[in-house]
Amino acid sequence: MDVNQIFNIKSDKDFESLCFKVFEYQYENCKVYQKFCKLLNKNPANVSLIKSIPFLPIEFFKKYQILSCQQLVQKVFTSSGTTGQQTSKHHITDIELYQRNFCQIFQSQYGLIEDYAILALLPSYLEREGSSLIYMVNHLIKKTRHPDSGFFLDDLSRLKETLLKLEAKKQKTLLIGVSFALLDFVETYNLRLNHTIVMETGGMKGRRKEITRDELHERLSKGFGVKHIHSEYGMTELLSQAYSKADGVFNLPPTMKVFIRDPEDPLHIFESFKKTGGINVIDLANINSCSFIATQDLGQSVKKNKLKIMGRFDYSDIRGCNLLTFS
């Protein structure tokens, strides 16, 4: 199947048309997904709406190799997890597709990567192997070609000096960090940043007590001296990302759509906006694995192509990008 089709989506009609092609392709080529569909008595011949396409429970990435093509695996991304937890594995057969997709999504929201200095405060991710977030951020850092771009593991003092240096030069800067590390920073330093975007990827990773997103953003806004805190929503099992520029409302890229399922009836999809339920994701960038995934995140569709994350199901694993206790 021609993977380049995912980069030419211009309308809902384009998305739906490609959805059905991908569903048929993955039904035929991913045996795990086909078996799941058959248990629900669903197949490409009897599904006429994209919301009715079966969504594979995200837990399957822990137990099975989810692949829809015969190409060699180039990379395996793994989820974070506490000691003893089984982690998800996403087998990647086309790493260039991932690179092209996350660069295109980032630039559609923030402009040219080359215009930025990117500073990353992601200690918990750097301390383990197989993070898709680290892979993405490292690639973006290299593309900036800026001498001050880079990772800051625990050196908060050096990060502060770098931020102030870039501010003095009026350099457009992105500081992307895991929540607990950003909080550590603002508890030590207070800045007034005018040329820097501060972006959290969520997650206390067991390092701190979970707090609401509103409380997190309030503390970070005050500490960095910025009006809004941006957020990134992504996970090991998805090759697309969504970004929020304010208020925790995420803008979905052209490769992605979400449906909200009834927490009491996982096969029922809510029709109206602003109902809270489980998030079902269609990610067409997952063309070589599975594009139709029932996540363990709770959220709302607040309007077309806009998503608000509310938290996670109580029994789901504590892990992943953007894990917070939301209000």
pTM: 0.92
pLDDT of residue 314: 64
* pLDDT score at 28: 98
How many residues comprise the chain? 327
Q: CB–CB of 144/117 below 8 Å?
A: yes
Residues of the chain predicted below pLDDT 70: 81-84, 204-208, 314-327
In the chain the beta strands, taken as DSSP E runs, fall at: 56-57, 75-78, 89-92, 117-121, 150-151, 173-177, 196-200, 230-233, 242-244, 249-251, 256-262, 265-269, 277-283, 292-303, 306-312
Question: Positive or negative, the Cα torsion across 57, 4, 269, 296?
Answer: positive
Tell me, what's the pLDDT at 320? 42
The encoded tokens of residue 296 equal 């363990």
Rounded to 5 degrees, φ, ψ at 198 are: -100, 120
CATH 3.40.50 domain range(s) in the chain: 97-233
CATH class of 97-233: alpha beta
Look at the block and give the residue holding tokens 């997190």. 216
Which pLDDT value is given to residue 315? 53
Of 72, 25, 32, 54, nearest to 286 by C-alpha is 25
pLDDT of residue 323: 41
**pLDDT at residue 124, rounded to an integer:** 76
The residues, any chain, with a CB within 8 Å of residue 16's CB and separated by 6 or more, are: 50
296 vs 314: CA distance, rounded Å: 9
Residue in the block written with tokens 């070609």: 145
- Expressed in angstroms, the distance from the first to the final Cα of the chain is 42
Cβ neighbors of 183 (< 8 A, separation 6 or more) are 208, 216, 219, 220
Structure-token pair, residue 135: 């892979």
Q: Which helix (H) or strand (E) holds 143?
A: helix 132-144
